[in-house]
A and B are shown apart, each in its own frame.
Chain A
């Protein structure tokens, strides 16, 4: 079944693995300590097989191929730690941050036409390594 690693590539302005999404797909209620992200049919992603292969210009495991996030539903809740009024002059950002729990459901597909056809359907979030929500300003807004 092999290795699979999905990302949308690097933008012309060098923003890493980031794509525009409909504004209504991302919601936060900081007072309740919750947030949600719901997106579907994201076609601007690739299967690079591994992170290393994605970030290595020569792609030693082979060229990246077309993929789709069929659906992605991510929910944040249950604040475990609050960091209010945080500021970092060195990295030019500030804000209020709330570390939380999170759960995710995703279906991702590597298109069969690529010769690497594969589908992952998640069943459970087995570990939360780190999760947070918040409001922030950076750069010229810092």
Chain B
């Protein structure tokens, strides 16, 4: 699987941030004890199912649809994260509204299609531990 620029940039930004923290305050046991503990994000893991997109990437998601599944890539598990136990909701909707160009101020009718979901409950994260949390697929 190819790594998108988005993933690369996010990983680089995280590494750069950590480097700045370490560079500005050399670590000593006394200093570390006096400071608030570092809080690392708890990363959930993707469902095992993969979907090869026509765009050169492979993503871990089923398209919206009944859990019985219409085809191998549609329906089935609505969750985006695996090792999960909790509540879910998903909505595949079309919306109407108004779009505004913030540079020109021009407004016009605009339509959007959206697939929004949430998952809330227990999950085993990449750290191997079970956590409680909520996530939105946007």
Contact = CB atoms under 8 A, between A and B. Distances in A.
A43 B114 CA distance: 18
Interface of A is mostly: strand
Contacts of B76: 88, 91, 93
Contact of B97 (A22, A35, A59, A122): A122
Contacts of B4: 9-10, 55, 57
Contacts of B95: 104, 106, 122-126
B67 A56 contact: no
Contacts, number: 272
B126 A13 contact: yes
A11 B43 contact: yes
A141 B85 contact: yes
B110 A18 contact: no
Contacts of A37: 89, 116, 118, 136
A135 B87 contact: yes
Given A18-B135, A21-B136, A117-B101, A126 B89 contact: no
B60 A125 contact: no
A41 interface: no
Given A13-B126, A74-B91, A55 B53 contact: yes
Interface residues of A, number: 83
A129 B94 contact: yes
A15 B90 contact: no
A55 B55 contact: yes
A59 B60 CA distance: 20
Interface of B: 1-7, 10-11, 14, 41-49, 53-57, 59-61, 64-69, 76-103, 106, 108, 110-112, 114, 116, 118-120, 122, 124, 126, 132-138
Interface of A: 1, 4, 6-23, 25-26, 28, 30, 35, 37, 39, 42, 45-46, 52, 54-57, 59, 63-64, 69, 72, 74, 76, 83, 86, 88, 91-93, 95, 97, 99, 102-104, 106, 109-110, 112, 117-141
Given A88-B69, A104-B116, A133-B87, 18 more contacts: A9-B4, A12-B43, A15-B81, A19-B136, A21-B134, A25-B136, A28-B120, A57-B4, A93-B79, A122-B95, A123-B96, A123-B97, A123-B98, A124-B96, A130-B65, A132-B67, A136-B86, A139-B124
